[in-house]
Amino acid sequence: MSVASSRHFLQIPGPTNVPDRVLHAIAKPTIDHRGPDFADLALEVFDKLRAVVRTSADVVIYPSSGTGAWEAALVNTLSPGDAVLMCETGHFSGLWSELASTLGLRPETIAGDWRSGADPGAIEQRLRADTEHRIKAVAVVHNETSTGVVSDIPAVRAALDAADHPALLLVDTISSLGSVDYRHDDWGVDVTISCSQKGLMLPPGIGINAISAKALLAARSSTLLKSYWDWQPMLDSGKQGYFRFTPPTNLLFGLREALSMLLEEGLDEVVARHDRHAAATRAAVRAWGLEILCREPGTAPGTHHSSALTAVVMPPGHDADDLREIILDRFDTSLGAGLSKVAKKVFRIGHLGAFNDATLLGTLGVVEAGLGLAGVPHRTGGVTAAIAELTGRSGE
């Protein structure tokens, strides 16, 4: 068993490692959430959050998990019995569908294989068939955390437009905001759903909605019951920099710092950094002779490898959880588990948030050592392949 002489190596795809700058910000003394200092804090956070979401639209922040942000998006825009078109891309798209059903909505699911993103062609076909416009929203997970698959949101938007369908576009960016390229306004998204503990580099506890003018109009006729999640009182209070109820004050200190870090680095640079680390991770997995769960780009419509995480398929007869247990015990390192359909079949390497080349190489070294200790059939040289990718020497 390893001796924990330093920080635990947390390499799951969320919650992610919290940078020291953010930890120090969260440790500030709590202030009066009805006072002027808090209003200044909140207004600054709203402005910086809009910049990271790439929107001029209204934003709402809840003390909640990402699931709360899902619920807020649904109950503010829809009414009992409304149909919602959803795309099966993994575990979390399924949970969103279950939530919709629990709320009294009618989810209609386009089946998927958990290795591909949302199919824009299938979405367009289904919307064209909906001549009575019974479908009121299309809900897509941008980055499916359980599978490491990214869906092409601009292509989904184009599918809605090609079908000339008025449905709202709701997009889950819980594990993509701050790590994978995302543009609320440019891509015509109506509600962006996100939270704090992934690319935003915070502990869990903040849920986020960014809301288009079309979504605000839909909220006027929505009849699903809501109180805590009601946008309008939150928006009314937010104009002055206050919350309808007690806010997560110290997490907002941290969010301000995290957003500042992203904007200081530059959003394009943040995306490029995540792309580099994802490419190096995939190079390592291929060098080991293991399979990546996400299909290669181009073999399914709208599918891309995630730059936030990589899901690795275990060889037949080998248990991913056994490997994860060995790595945790020997190297004090946590990797992500396979969820529901892929439980024990895959492990997930998170490479998002506060993450650099050294962290990645340490993670991949631990995985390569763990594969050997667990007796998993593989080739050596994964770390070497990752180094070559990071240093631009992969073609030599």
Q: Is 348 annotated among the ligand-binding residues?
A: yes
Give the torsion sign (CA, 311, 261, 202, 238). negative
- DSSP for 112-160, please give it: --SSS---HHHHHHHHHH-TT--EEEEEEESEETTTTEEE-HHHHHHHH
Residues 17/363, Cβ–Cβ less than 8 Å: no
Amino acid identity of residue 282, one-letter, is R
Rounded distance between C-alpha atoms, residue 5 and residue 396, angstroms = 38
Rounded distance between C-alpha atoms, residue 239 and residue 213, angstroms = 16
Residues 116/192, Cβ–Cβ less than 8 Å: no
Rounded distance between C-alpha atoms, residue 333 and residue 2, angstroms = 10
Rounded distance between C-alpha atoms, residue 159 and residue 165, angstroms = 9
Binding residue numbers for substrate? 348
Instruction: Enumerate the known binding-site residues.
Output: 348
